[in-house]
Structure 1
């Protein structure tokens, strides 16, 4: 359904000026079918945001030839007939030939077939992501809404496009939770009815684990994980209470990187190695978790200190070499000996505060004779 011209203009006005110029030039090169900005960029523009990520459907032109004609670097993906073009500022734009898709195997890759722009919109995940801002070769702008996505956007409702959506691709469940948390959306009853379908094929859907990894990159990963729990899909992740706590710290201004969220998730997992492999986390989160659980001193504001406050709430700042020197230990081998003694006491649970360590150090130095005492 074609929406009133003012709706198209509202979305167009919220695009960056350089993006508008680039899209107009692309539509002109594409010929009679023009080009259509689709998905999240249209959604966000209608919400008053300035989208950075652009996805463009080409209804009729040859995508590879069109990408080449832009004069920009691009990579062509022949399996799906898509091209990824790199804009001058480094952002990537996906150019997609309009298509239909079918899923012979639930959770597997879809099989594409040529289609119309309407077909392409109907293959998407949620109605509010199935909006298109079509540009004719002359620059005429039209907002297309095939499935009632504009009404869903106004109502802040997240609705799958058909009853088998999550059975085809369970990753849509996690993507929906990310969107719901980020944009304050509520789940349509049709979405909640499909959650068991997604859980049934989750282990056979590699894209679902990729979406869970992206969840940890959200502004509030704990909130997104909470959406999954609220939808009855909490079993996809281990306990996420630590993610909620890190959200609170981040909201308060703390620097909490992706690796800290990943480390917190691994700490809660019964099998951290398996989870790290499924989410393709690499070695850095586990290494961060190990440092946070250690007695090594880290300055305030570091991810290690942020995590340690959550993983070891009874932990205290141990004495450092500088502290030992300030307490009268002369520079040299004695500093290392004193620190080693204190570390042994911490491992044995014989000191529980910085004051305990100072008292223990005094007692230790007293055994070394008057020249080593305080």
Structure 2
């Protein structure tokens, strides 16, 4: 165990593997019963010479006491398409990589990946794959804690944990370590993925990771996958914590809006639900060109529309995303008078209501009213003026 324990994004002690239990037994027990049944069935369907293993995040999370839902399997010594077809489940085969995605009855997908090794011809470009062993496949991954594998047992045997790069020790120490000296230069998106994992699980960067950050930043503009990882960062349980991790690693400039995202994290911690759309709109607000950033991240126009509504003076009810974002963008903002309220204060029904609301909106934009009490006073002054002077004040 390291001297300084990792601090999780929630401020609590990070999850730790249970070292009193055999790791393979712990992973197997953490799976859902139907998933254990599926994996055992796949092992029976594979030819005797094949090796199948559950890999990556599922193994890591199971060791941390969580129930894995996303299953990724590496297949060595068997045709992936034949194995997928033998399950009787619906599947999609990807011939370029000889991989398949099974669709379970509950709608989840299970990836079957042919074991391979790969190399990057140029930083940021797609890797060149070629067939390899299960061990080769684990060594091509991003971080040691994601290179753990649960080798599926043959009938009558027990599952075993395969750890060829020391991932279990890093998980116990709470460290996130890349697998080789050029890992983040080859694929700069791994830097963002690492920050997401570190913030979520309370891991700290190993020295080897921090040493590679400058190379990753230099390659970032040549790494299209980086934008997909930044988009995923905005869907993390606490995106502000993930972006703060990037900042602490010297890469906070990859995405704007740190203060806003951390403020939204604080709202979540206090019990207010915050959707990924609100986080996305907050990041766009801090960008010099929100529309350009939305396009790079592939966000669509919903966050942009949300940001526009939050920036406007249009009434938003308490608890709405617009109201939540507006309270952060304009801390001095307050719930403006509504049409119902101006009617109660003496405005005649009909067009006069719209005119009165437009008058108050102009006063808010010019800063002449700063709270609801000043709005009421301004409305009384407006209603007390001669009719010929009761025109909407232009901003």
TM-score of the superposed pair, with normalisation by structure 1:
0.95
Aligned equivalents of 1:9, 1:301: Cα separation in 2: 45
Residue of structure 2 in register with 1:187 after alignment: 205
1:129 aligns with 2:136: no
Q: Is the 8 A contact 1:58 1:96 kept in 2?
A: yes
1:241 aligns with 2:265: no
1:8 aligns with 2:24: yes
Aligned equivalents of 2:349, 2:326: Cα separation in 1: 30
Structure 1 gaps of 5+ residues are none
Q: Is the 8 A contact 2:257 2:282 kept in 1?
A: no
* Matched pairs, number: 368
Q: How does 1:1-374 map to 2 (within 5 A)?
A: 6-32=22-48, 33-138=50-155, 140-367=158-385
3-state SS in 2 of match to 1:285: helix
Q: Cα distance 1:106–1:236, how it changes in 2: closer, same or farther (>3 A)?
A: same
Q: CA shift at 1:137, angstroms?
A: 3.1
Aligned equivalents of 1:235, 1:331: Cα separation in 2: 52
Structure 2 gaps of 5+ residues are 1-18, 391-395
3-state SS in 1 of match to 2:46: helix
3-state SS in 2 of match to 1:143: strand
Aligned equivalents of 2:66, 2:97: Cα separation in 1: 30
Q: State the 4+ residue runs in structure 1 displaced beyond 6 angstroms.
A: none
Moved more, 318-327 or 266-275: 266-275
Q: Is the 8 A contact 2:257 2:284 kept in 1?
A: no
Deviations 1:287-330 (A, max 9, x none): 11111111111111111111111111111211110111121223
Deviations 1:23-68 (A, max 9, x none): 1001111122242100000000011110111000011111111111
TM-score of the superposed pair, with normalisation by structure 2:
0.90
Q: CA shift at 1:176, angstroms?
A: 0.5
Aligned equivalents of 1:339, 1:239: Cα separation in 2: 32
Q: Is the 8 A contact 2:227 2:296 kept in 1?
A: yes
Deviations 1:195-243 (A, max 9, x none): 1111011011111111111000001100000111111111212241100
3-state SS in 2 of match to 1:31: coil
Residue of structure 1 in register with 2:6 after alignment: none
- Considering only aligned residues, what root-mean-square deviation do their CA atoms show, in Å? 1.7
Q: CA shift at 1:350, angstroms?
A: 2.2
